[in-house]
Each structure stands twice: as C-alpha cells, then as structure tokens.
Amino acid sequence: MGEEEWAVFLERFERLLPEALEARKKRGMQSGRDLLPAASEVGGRRKDDDPPHRPSKRKVSTLSMLLSSSVQFAEEIGSLDAGSSKPQWKAAIDFKWIRDNQDLVAANIRDRNSDANLELVLELYEKFSILQKEVERLRGERNLVAKKMKGKLESSTRQALVDEGKNLKECLAALEQDLIMLTDRLQAEAQCIPNITHPDVPKGGEENSVVRNTVGSPREFKFNVKDHLELGKELDLIDFDSAAEVSGAKFYYLKNEAVLLEMALINWTISEVFKRGFTPLITPEIVRSSVVEKCGFQPRGDNTQVYSIEGSDQCLIGTAEIPVGGFHMDVILSESALPLKYVAYSHCFRTEAGAAGVATRQIHHFNVTGDSIECISSVRLKCSYFVDQRIATCIMKNLLELKKASLLPLVSILSENDPGTPVTTLDMATGDLGAPAYRKFDVEAWMPGLGRYGEISSASNCTDYQSRRLGIRYRPSTAELTSTVKKGKGGASSPTQFVHTLNATACAVPRMIICLLENFQQMDGSIVIPEPLRPFMGGLSVIAPKLKRT
C-alpha cells in the first residue's frame, strides 16, 4: 500500500471518529490525533536494514495503532458500549442492501415509530467493511510469508521472514479482536431495524388502519342485549368472586358449559386445520431468551411485553409462534418439504393488561417454576407456515378475501351459521405493526355487548425476517437451477434461500367465548351453540338458564 493510499485510509478513519476525538478532548484525555501517526509516517518509511520485499515494522505497527484506536475511541463514547450485552447469536442481515436502500429503510423506521438507529448502523458497517478488508489483506500477507519460507533461503532472509511473520501475527490478532467487537455491536444495532413494509399498508397509527373486507352485518336483537359478564353470571358459567378470594383480582373460574365450550373451540379448530394439512403441536411455554429475540420480540427492556424468568435466560412465551419458529431453527429444509404447516396449542403470557373494564378481563396464570409471577395469559391456537415467497403471497391473498381455505377456519363458524356474526378484516397501519411483520391483517367480529367490533384474530406475513434470525433455509430443487449456479464435486447444487414465515391466530379462545356468548344469546337468556361445535360438546345445542333452587 503506497503513501497516497495510506493517507486516504487515515483520512477515512479520522472522518468516522469525530465524536470520539471530541469526547476524549472534553474529558481531558490524550486526543486521538496524538495517538495517530504523523502524516510523514503514514507511508511506512523503511529503515536501511529493511529487506525490499517486506513492509516496514513501522507500517505494521502504525496500522495496528490506527485501527485499534478507532475501536477504542468508539467504545468510550458508546458506539461499542461495554455495558450492552454481547449478542449471543448473529442474524443473516443484508447490510449491503440496507446501505444501498438507506432512504427506504429510514422512511420505514419513521413510519413504524421504531427506535432503530440507522445512522449508527451505517457508520458501524463502514468501519466493519474497512476493518474486514484490512484483516483479509493481512491474512493474505501472512500466507504469502509462510509460502516463501517453504523454499531454501539464506539464514538472514529466513530470519527476516520470521520477524515479518511474527509482526503480522501480532497485528492480525489485535485487529481480529477489534473486528469481533465491532461485529457484535453492529449486530446489536442492526437487529433493532424492523422488517420492510408492504407498499399497500396504510401509514400512521392504529386509527389509520383500513377495512379491506366485511362479511355479514350486525344482528338486530328484539330484546335488550346482555354482555358476556352478565350472561356468564346468570348462566353460572363464570365465577370472578371465588377466583378473587383464591388468586386475586381479575382471575376467574370457568364453569359448567363454559368449560365444554372452551374445549370444543380447541378441538374443533385443531380438527379443521388438521384436515387441511396442518401438523398439530403442543409447545413448550418457556423458551430461551435468544429464541424470543430471533422471532423479533424484545424479552427485556422498559416496553417489553415478555415475562423473563429471573436468574435464567428463559422467558414465558407471549405467542406460540415463538416455540414454533424455533422448531426448525438452524435447519436447511428441502424444497419438496414445503410448505410446512403447524397448528400449535399453548397458553400465552403477556404483560399487557390494558385498561380495567369488561372488555379487557383476561385469564391469569402462575408460572410453573415455583416463583409466583402474576401475568396475563390466554389460551390460543396458532397457525404457522414455513413457505417460499410465492406461496406466502397466495396465503395472504386468501386471508384478505376471508376464503374458507384461509388461515382462519373460525370465520366459517361466525359468518356461515344462523344467527351468524359479522366479521371484518383490517389492513393494519404501519404504527401498529410488530418488528417482524411485513403486513398484518386483524380479523374483528361484532360484539353486541360492546356495541362495536373487537379483535378475535390477526395474521402476519413476516417474509424472511424471522428465518434470517432463526437460520431456517431451504434448498431449491435442482430442476430450477440456472446457469449461474456453480457445480461442485457433488454435481449441481443450488444455493440455499431463507423460508418465509406466516403466523396467524387460529383461535384466541377467551375472545371467541365472549364473541359467541354475546352474539348467540336468545330472548329467554339462553345461548345457542353453533352447529359445528355441538359434536365437541356432547351434542349440546343450547346453554339454558339453570333452575333456581327454592
């Protein structure tokens, strides 16, 4: 590397570290410029006894000082904050794409109200690229020196090569350590960037979400409508008072036919999706924090909705898509195995309790480790797909149209049975999307007791956002190989691609119970059981008021 190249190299690092240099100056420390070599030294002038084929010791030590100082300064101002935890895993993030499309990424971050720091990611990536290239160059020089030493040499020449190899080894070790630190920080910052958003998604907060489809219209009741709390009490289905004595406020017991109704919803949903090729799963409800992170959720922090188990690296799941996502973690699938379709049963634990009131009562549970942790939980069935991009687009189109073959079989119960329930689909706005979602549809049903629509399900297309973090790939069939695919000793083989994941709530059981109680109530106070659920409730067709004892 000549003097001009070294001068450019030095100028780039000084330009990338102005904050660090200023911070050191304000703190009364030796300035970075005092530690960097003078311009006259950048060229690495040779000593008289330096062999003509080797770089001077001064040049190698100058490089080590320069690059190591850059990471040192950055660490002092927080770019490599020692207080932040080192990433336990690395996502396959396309940094070049982010750099080349930074305007699009920046706009997406703003639209989604994300805290991701794109400027810092780009700065760290530029430093990473420079440092990585220099590490690779030094590795090449080290290999060249080793190759030269294989021949017959004069003792002085061999000793010169030994000294050069030692200097290169020491310098390379320091730079490789710096590269590891820089890579960890780059990963930590880049993992905060949310998925890109579908161009048709409305911008703004939840209030800007757009209704894409509606099936049915609200039923006209010829009597005063009761809410689910009143119905539950009169029909002896829900007991809050006893639960409050046993467990505290907001807990409840399900009783009598309500228990049968919950079991019926679970069994009906599983049987329906099983007929459509889904594999049933009952998942663990405690997972490693790293799996939660890889699925795009934040297990720790001020705004987290995840319950972490103190003294461990484990969390309670907030959705079954987390353990289902981890099911194929770090696996390369064959294209012939796709699509993989799962329906998972689990309890879901989240910190979001919402405002107090009849619309927000939810189930509570204690965790099973022995330490009492109060948390919100609901029983849910989750449908998850592992597919290629073409199938993902088709599935989301079916969902938007509320087709019977879509991800949400429960829609058929609500919209196709007398008396029926109107169902609407919302295309959720950017401000309401979670980090993994490329697009999300919420399905809402009419709640007569609330006098409005209420969410009963949601479905998200996460594209390859989760699979890049979970390491889930597939290898396209050889029939689709192109001329650009290289052939190895084993014949033709195609490069792996990341699968696309889709996740939808097949049945949020407590919400569905509320929906059914309120929509299927009768004038005499009874509840008609939707016909598809009756075989799962022992043939029961009506939940009738209990006879009062005299």
Whether 25 is covered by a domain: the verdict is no
Asked if residue 422 belongs to a domain, the reply is yes
What digits encode the pLDDT tens for the residues 419-439?
557 888 899 999 999 999 999
Q: What confidence tier does 140 reach under pLDDT thresholds 50, 70, 90?
A: confident
Say if CB 428 and CB 421 are below 8 A apart. no
Among all chains, which residue has been given the structure tokens 């029983």? 379
Out of 149, 167, 192, pick the residue that ends a domain. Answer: 192
Claim to verify: residue 126 and residue 162 sit in the same structural domain: yes
Q: How many residues in total does the chain contain?
A: 550
**Separation CA 442–CA 407 (nearest Å):** 12
At residue 310, the pLDDT reads: 85
Strands 487-488 and 340-350: unpaired
Question: Would strands 238-239 and 253-254 be described as parallel, antiparallel, or unpaired?
Answer: antiparallel
The residues pairing with 502 across neighbouring beta strands, listed in sequence order, are 385, 461
pLDDT number for residue 197: 95
Distance of CA 154 to the CA centre of its chain: 60
Report the CATH number that the domain containing residue 99 is assigned in CATH.
1.10.287.40
Is 377 part of a structural domain of the chain?
A: yes
Q: What pLDDT digit, counting tens, does each position of 21-76 carry? A: 454 444 444 444 343 344 334 334 444 444 444 444 444 444 445 455 444 544 44
With CA atoms as reference, report the closest residue to 37 among 4, 14, 71, 5.
Answer: 14
Note whether residue 346 is domain-resident.
yes
| 8 A C-beta contact, residue 545 and residue 235 | yes
**Rounded to whole angstroms, how far apart are CA atoms 89 and 182?**
14
The distance in angstroms from the start CA to the end CA of the chain is 100
What residues contact residue 370 under an 8 Å CB cut-off, 6+ apart?
none
pLDDT band (50, 70, 90) for residue 351: confident
State which of 172-181, 189-198, 492-501 shows the largest mean pLDDT: 189-198
Same domain, 388 and 247: yes
The residue from 147, 165, 192 where one domain ends is: 192
Instruction: Please calculate the CA angle 403-378-405 and round it to the nearest 5 degrees.
Output: 10
pLDDT at residue 238 is higher than 90: yes
Please give the pLDDT value at position 507: 84
Which of 161, 192, 223 corresponds to the end of one domain? 192
**Per-residue pLDDT, 48:** 47
Would you state the pLDDT for residue 318?
86
pLDDT number for residue 309: 84
Residue 151 pLDDT: 74
376 and 250 housed in the same domain: yes
Q: Is 21 inside a domain boundary?
A: no
The reply to whether 304 and 443 lie within a common domain is yes
Helices (H), 341-448: 389-400, 410-415
As a whole-number percent, the residues of the chain with pLDDT over 70 amount to: 67
Q: What is the 3-state secondary structure (H, E, C) of 40-109?
A: HHHCCCCCCCCCCCCCCHHHHHHHHHHHHHHHHHHHHHCCCCCCCCCCCCCCCCCHHHHHHCHHHHHHHH
Is 245 among the domain residues?
yes
Tell me, yes or no, whether 342 and 455 share the same domain: yes
With a cut of 80, say whether residue 110 has pLDDT above it. Answer: yes
HSE-up of 250 (CA within 13 Å, CB side)? Answer: 17
Stretch 69-86: mean pLDDT, rounded? 46
- Which of 33-37, 468-472, 529-533 ranks highest by mean pLDDT? 468-472
Same domain assignment for residues 180 and 239: no
List pLDDT tens digits, range 179-203.
889 999 999 999 999 999 999 999 9
CATH for 346:
3.30.930.10
Q: Rounded CA gap, 293 and 236, in Å? A: 42
DSSP state at residue 418: S
Supply the pLDDT for residue 418. Answer: 52
In angstroms and rounded to an integer, the radius of gyration of the C-alpha atoms of the chain is 31
179 shares a domain with 219 = no
Tokens 């029909």: give the residue.
Answer: 235
The answer, yes or no, to whether residue 487 has pLDDT greater than 90, is no
Q: Is the pLDDT assigned to residue 448 strictly greater than 80?
A: yes
- Specify whether 222 is located in the same domain as 170: no
**Average pLDDT taken over every residue of the chain:** 75
- 211 and 285 inside one domain: yes
pLDDT on residue 495: 87
> Higher model confidence: residue 358 or residue 372?
358
**How many domains does the chain contain in total?**
2
The answer to the question of residue 430 being in a domain is yes
Q: Could you tell me if residue 347 is inside a domain?
A: yes
Give the integer Cα–Cα distance in Å for 311 and 350. Answer: 19
> What domain range is 529 assigned to?
206-364+371-478+495-543
Domain shared by 188 and 304, yes or no: no
pLDDT confidence of residue 300: 64
Q: What is the mean pLDDT of residues 292-307?
A: 78
Query: Which residue do the tokens 């609500």 mark?
Result: 414
- Pair 146, 250 in one domain: no
**Do 95 and 214 belong to one domain?**
no
What is the pTM for the complete model shown? 0.75
